[in-house]
Chains A and B, each alone.
Chain A
Amino acid sequence: MLIIDGSFGEGGGQILRTSLGLSLVTGTAFRIEKIRGGRKSPGILRQHLTAINAAAKIGQAEVVGASLNSQQLTFIPKKVLAGDYSFAIGTAGSATLVLQTILPALLLADGPTNLILEGGTHNPAAPPFDFLEKTFLKQINRMGVNVTLELVRPGFYPAGGGQFKVNIKPVKKLLGFELTSRGEIISRRARALVASLPTEIADRELSFIAQRMSWDKSCLHKEIINNSRGPGNVVFIELESENLTEIFTAFGERGVRAEAVADEAVKEARHYLAAGVPVGEYLADQLLIPFALAGSGVFTTFGLSLHTTTNIEIIKKFLKVNINTKQLGKLSTTIEIA
């Protein structure tokens, strides 16, 4: 049985999610030890338990050690069953991370899948729904599959209770592609969402972005959310280029000024623009698994984070692929899968 050291590298929940995802696709049983060994409070937390249970369900897996705070898990999958599923995650934990865990297997399943995911959709600890929809899945859909998303209602921290639907039309074989340049920027947008909070927050965030980015008012979009379970505020900077759309997100927090929140997104966007690479940090992580499954593809991103290098090592344990990284400059690396 494949043994995974959960304390390796970055030592967090990503190792568990990557292992679960690839175990489902490849049918490889594995045991992970020292789960989240690099964290202050190691072991399985509730959000991980939801991901494990979701993976076990679609993969009809036999699971040992799937309990809260457990530091060891054995996962023996059988055949992946496409179909209709619904998973709910507590503590406003990210529903997008649950999707990330089970998506690879469903992209290559026998038939289409309809998912209903509930929990946090806009959680500071994970990529938000908007990133999935506009950045990640746009690229995934270039690989031959057709994945569509629908946000029923957003779920913010701490109340959670968001919901979105996912429809997945799989393929037999994913096709890799090349994403080494972003092309001309064709659209710039700043969006500020407010739910059950003064709308003035959104106005201040947007005007701050317009000023710092020297953008026209036509780029600013205020969205007032009426159907969420609890209050929330998020601001996005979206840069649509010829080859992809990248999104930079910041979350409003009690006691933090609106301008300071917007400034976080501005800094990330400027960093991206300055580096000149197409693929941002989060997308780089998310593309690794589908590209590895395709067995081909190349993309250019920032310098490698520990998160990314750890992910690469885990992928190599499940798949026989070569993942070559080549540093081009201080802020630019090419990752090639062959």
Chain B
Amino acid sequence: MTNKKYVVIGLVGTTLDNGAGPERWEKWRPTVSLCRHENLIVHRLELLYQKKFSSIVDVLVEDISTVSPETHLRPIQMEFNDPWDFEEVYATLHEFAGNYEFNPEEEEYLVHITTGTHVVQICMFLLTESRHFPAKLLQTSPPNRHKSEPGKYTIIDLDLSKYDEIASRFQQEKREGVSFLKSGIETRNKEFNRQIERIEQVAIASESPILLMGPTGAGKSQLARRIYELKKARHRVVGKFVEVNCATLRGDSAMSALFGHIKGAYTGANNSRPGLLRTADKGLLFLDEIGELGLDEQAMLLRALEEKVFLPLGSDQEVSSDFQLIAGTNRELNSFVTEGKFREDLLARINLWTFRLPSLKERVEDIEPNLHYELEAYTRRTGNRVTVSKEAKEFFLKFATSSNAKWSGNFRDLNAAVTRMTTLALGGRISLEIVEEEIERLKATWYNPNQPSKEEMLLESLLGKEQANQIDRFDRIQLLDVLSVCSQAHTLSEAGRELFASSREQKKNINDADRLRKYLARFNLQWQDIKNISEDI
């Protein structure tokens, strides 16, 4: 039920609506019949017609005034040279829609698509779907037996979200898409899940460049491939997935690898080469570590993105390729721009859909589901089922989620750890011993004695090398751990809570922040300095 007035926009049906003499009342005429329904009042009827059919319109005006005194009928002349010419019909109706003064607050619009050529009907549908007509579709059909009845009408709302069943299908499809992008891993990190949901939407709807940021091993490359596969499953892409790490493209060969060359372009170019951009035509090109791309290549890439054409090496003939770009980087491209290492215009072009993938350390709650995933992946890969004992798993996760676990290589480290543990698992079971051994191995990787740790560098930056070296080893080990916690905490209180976690449970007056501040003061250190400097390292 609506209190809005119904306005129908429709074309005169030159065959169906045609009729003269009393026999016309025995015939089903869609435009007259739609004004005869007991449960629909057409308050206004915008009747589009061509001049040569005005005699039909005259009869319709008379008959509709009789059967529907409530209807205000407005014949609107509209000429087509060829009502089967899609381009002409679309343009004419598009112009009509553009000039029409819609008043959706008070009127509800129905576009009648039963009359007119099929091309007209298609154009009306398209213009309604694209909201040029802010309307619903109106489809009418003749009665079954008695020809004098008005028949049926159906109002079709193209806003698919209005239909529960369709909406739940879309929800399901979206869930499947999101799950697919996460390789089926039930990730728990809110930020990561939110990012993936967005990526799913963008992957389905957009062909614009996507920029994936995040540290090495955060899963950029894996995600790019998944995006491609999702697009392919949804028929959004037909070409190939082409992947290259820009850090491996150096010198002259970079140009050639990306943009191709013709035979004889340079010494040794015995054959022509299409280049990665052309291989990715109608597909998806993933350029990892895009910050490493040379400036010349950047300029060429920008043109290829904007105009979809570029020049292969040695060629004076432009070639075209239409691909979607996903760029990956673990660098702050903004500072690259400031330093003149990255073109500002290229960054602007690829910075439309930017997603920052968190490091594994920032999503420790996802270590457990990823551990399960890696174990299953191993089983699938090798055919050998490997399980992990409950206490071994708990021990591993306790370490993995603690601040001692740096996960500097992110998922690459986790993957390597699982591969080692599964390989060493006797009888297909990962024991506590194997986990303990692996933890030592991981620590050794992360705390290389020959290389100063991040905390050591932080300490030197804060106090200067000379002063830092004067701290006793006894104090130094404690201080380095405190700095490690501080550099990851957002506030002094947060760091205090973590550092004094055990004792604060027993205390009545909790003042971790104050304790920490006093401790730092003993070394002439201040919270804000630690934060400022740790961000630069």
The segment from A83-91, A180-188, A207-215, A274-282 that touches chain B is A83-91
Whether the Cβ atoms of B39 and A229 lie closer than 8 Å is: no
Give Cα A95 to B355, complex, Å. 68
Whether the Cβ atoms of A47 and B38 lie closer than 8 Å is: yes
Give Cα A46 to B148, complex, Å. 18
Q: Which residues of B contact A157 (CB under 8 A)?
A: 148
- The verdict on A197 contacting B22 (CB below 8 Å), with A90-B69, A91-B38, A160-B66 known, is yes
Give the residue of A67, A90, A195 whose beta carbon is less than 8 angstroms from that of B36: A90
Whether the Cβ atoms of B1 and A90 lie closer than 8 Å is: no
Give Cα A172 to B255, complex, Å. 105
Q: Which residues of A contact B67 (CB under 8 A)?
A: 90-92, 158-161
Interface flag for A329 (CB, 8 Å)? no
Interface flag for B257 (CB, 8 Å)? no
Interface flag for A45 (CB, 8 Å)? yes
Whether the Cβ atoms of A231 and B22 lie closer than 8 Å is: yes
Interface flag for A330 (CB, 8 Å)? no
Interface flag for B41 (CB, 8 Å)? yes
Interface flag for A41 (CB, 8 Å)? yes
Interface flag for A196 (CB, 8 Å)? yes
Contact pattern, A 66-94, Cβ under 8 Å of B = 1, otherwise 0 = 01111000000000000000001111110
Whether the Cβ atoms of A159 and B66 lie closer than 8 Å is: yes
- The verdict on A46 contacting B38 (CB below 8 Å), with A88-B69, A92-B67 known, is yes
Whether the Cβ atoms of A118 and B38 lie closer than 8 Å is: no
Whether the Cβ atoms of A91 and B3 lie closer than 8 Å is: no
Interface flag for A253 (CB, 8 Å)? yes
Interface of A is mostly: loop
Give the residue of B1, B148, B149 whose beta carbon is less than 8 angstroms from that of A69: B1
Which chain A residue lies CB-closest to B23? A231
- The verdict on A67 contacting B38 (CB below 8 Å), with A91-B68, A230-B25, A254-B147 known, is no
Interface flag for B176 (CB, 8 Å)? no
Instruction: Find residues 143-161 in chain A having any chain B CB closer than 8 Å to their own CB.
Output: 155, 157-161
Q: Which residues of A contact B70 (CB under 8 A)?
A: 46, 90
Whether the Cβ atoms of B39 and A41 lie closer than 8 Å is: yes
Which chain A residue lies CB-closest to B42? A90
Taking the nearest CB of chain A, how far is it from the CB of B332, in angstroms? Answer: 61
Contact pattern, B 138-164, Cβ under 8 Å of A = 1, otherwise 0 = 000000011111100000000000000
Whether the Cβ atoms of B22 and A158 lie closer than 8 Å is: no
Whether the Cβ atoms of B37 and A91 lie closer than 8 Å is: yes
Interface flag for A290 (CB, 8 Å)? no
Contact pattern, B 1-19, Cβ under 8 Å of A = 1, otherwise 0 = 1110000000000000000
Whether the Cβ atoms of B147 and A67 lie closer than 8 Å is: no
Contact pattern, B 452-490, Cβ under 8 Å of A = 1, otherwise 0 = 000000000000000000000000000000000000000
- The verdict on A91 contacting B36 (CB below 8 Å), with A68-B1, A69-B1, A159-B25 known, is yes
Interface flag for B46 (CB, 8 Å)? no
Taking the nearest CB of chain B, how far is it from the CB of A159, in angstroms? Answer: 5
- The verdict on A118 contacting B1 (CB below 8 Å), with A41-B39, A157-B148, A230-B25 known, is no
Whether the Cβ atoms of A69 and B35 lie closer than 8 Å is: no
Give Cα A70 to B40, complex, Å. 12
Instruction: Find residues 12-56 in chain A having any chain B CB closer than 8 Å to their own CB.
Output: 41, 43, 45-47, 49
- The verdict on A45 contacting B25 (CB below 8 Å), with A159-B63, A253-B146 known, is no
Which chain A residue lies CB-closest to B70? A90
Taking the nearest CB of chain A, how far is it from the CB of B286, in angstroms? Answer: 56
Q: Which residues of A contact B36 (CB under 8 A)?
A: 90-92, 158
Contact pattern, A 225-267, Cβ under 8 Å of B = 1, otherwise 0 = 0000111000000000000000000000111000000000000
Taking the nearest CB of chain B, how far is it from the CB of A257, in angstroms? Answer: 15
Q: Which residues of B contact A155 (CB under 8 A)?
A: 66
Which chain B residue lies CB-closest to A93? B38
Give the residue of B22, B145, B146, B150 whose beta carbon is less than 8 angstroms from that of A196: B22
Whether the Cβ atoms of B40 and A68 lie closer than 8 Å is: yes
Give Cα A145 to B66, complex, Å. 32
Interface flag for B436 (CB, 8 Å)? no
Q: Which residues of A contact B150 (CB under 8 A)?
A: 91, 158
Whether the Cβ atoms of B26 and A254 lie closer than 8 Å is: yes
Give Cα A196 to B20, complex, Å. 12
Q: Which residues of B contact A67 (CB under 8 A)?
A: 1-3
Give the residue of A68, A197, A231, A255 whose beta carbon is less than 8 angstroms from that of B39: A68
Whether the Cβ atoms of B25 and A90 lie closer than 8 Å is: no
Give Cα A112 to B150, complex, Å. 38
Whether the Cβ atoms of B1 and A229 lie closer than 8 Å is: no
Taking the nearest CB of chain B, how far is it from the CB of A62, in angstroms? Answer: 16
Q: Which residues of B contact A46 (CB under 8 A)?
A: 37-39, 41, 70
Give Cα A138 to B1, complex, Å. 41
Q: Which residues of B contact A195 (CB under 8 A)?
A: 22
Whether the Cβ atoms of B39 and A69 lie closer than 8 Å is: yes
Give Cα A224 to B347, complex, Å. 86
Taking the nearest CB of chain B, how far is it from the CB of A293, in angstroms? Answer: 30
Which chain B residue lies CB-closest to A41? B39
Which chain B residue lies CB-closest to A120? B67
Which chain A residue lies CB-closest to B66? A161
Q: Which residues of B contact A119 (CB under 8 A)?
A: 69
Whether the Cβ atoms of B146 and A255 lie closer than 8 Å is: yes
Taking the nearest CB of chain B, how far is it from the CB of A150, in angstroms? Answer: 20
Q: Which residues of B contact A254 (CB under 8 A)?
A: 26, 146-148
Q: Which residues of B contact A196 (CB under 8 A)?
A: 21-22
Q: Which residues of B contact A47 (CB under 8 A)?
A: 38
Instruction: Find residues 197-228 in chain A having any chain B CB closer than 8 Å to their own CB.
Output: 197
Give the residue of A41, A43, A158 whose beta carbon is less than 8 angstroms from that of B148: A158
Interface centre among A47, A70, A157, A253 (most CB of B within 10 A): A157
Taking the nearest CB of chain A, how far is it from the CB of B269, in angstroms? Answer: 76
Give Cα A157 to B25, complex, Å. 9
Q: Which residues of A contact B25 (CB under 8 A)?
A: 158-159, 230-231
Which chain B residue lies CB-closest to A90? B68
Whether the Cβ atoms of A89 and B66 lie closer than 8 Å is: no
Give Cα A309 to B386, complex, Å. 82
Taking the nearest CB of chain B, how far is it from the CB of A278, in angstroms? Answer: 35
Contact pattern, B 252-271, Cβ under 8 Å of A = 1, otherwise 0 = 00000000000000000000
Whether the Cβ atoms of B39 and A45 lie closer than 8 Å is: yes
Whether the Cβ atoms of A230 and B146 lie closer than 8 Å is: no
Give Cα A282 to B474, complex, Å. 112
Give Cα A298 to B35, complex, Å. 44
Taking the nearest CB of chain A, how far is it from the CB of B319, in angstroms? Answer: 62
Instruction: Find residues 325-376 in chain B having any chain A CB closer than 8 Å to their own CB.
Output: none
Give Cα A231 to B23, complex, Å. 8
Taking the nearest CB of chain B, how far is it from the CB of A272, in angstroms? Answer: 28
Taking the nearest CB of chain B, how far is it from the CB of A233, in angstroms? Answer: 11
Which chain A residue lies CB-closest to B149? A158
Q: Which residues of A contact B22 (CB under 8 A)?
A: 195-197, 230-231
Whether the Cβ atoms of B39 and A43 lie closer than 8 Å is: yes
Taking the nearest CB of chain B, how far is it from the CB of A250, in angstroms? Answer: 16
Give Cα A230 to B3, complex, Å. 32
Taking the nearest CB of chain A, how far is it from the CB of B459, in angstroms? Answer: 78
Q: Which residues of A contact B147 (CB under 8 A)?
A: 254
Taking the nearest CB of chain B, how far is it from the CB of A323, in angstroms? Answer: 32
Give Cα A230 to B68, complex, Å. 14
Give Cα A40 to B22, complex, Å. 32
- For the A-B complex with A67-B2, A158-B148, A196-B21 known, give 7 more contacts whose Cβ atoms are closer than 8 Å: A46-B39, A68-B39, A68-B41, A69-B39, A161-B66, A197-B22, A253-B146
Give 17 A-B contacts (CB < 8 Å), ordered by A residue: A41-B39, A46-B38, A88-B69, A90-B36, A90-B71, A91-B37, A92-B67, A155-B66, A158-B36, A158-B67, A159-B25, A195-B22, A231-B23, A231-B26, A253-B146, A254-B148, A255-B145
Chain B residues proximal to chain A, CB less than 8 Å: 1-3, 21-23, 25-26, 35-41, 63, 66-71, 145-150
Chain A residues proximal to chain B, CB less than 8 Å: 41, 43, 45-47, 49, 67-70, 88-93, 118-119, 155, 157-161, 195-197, 229-231, 253-255
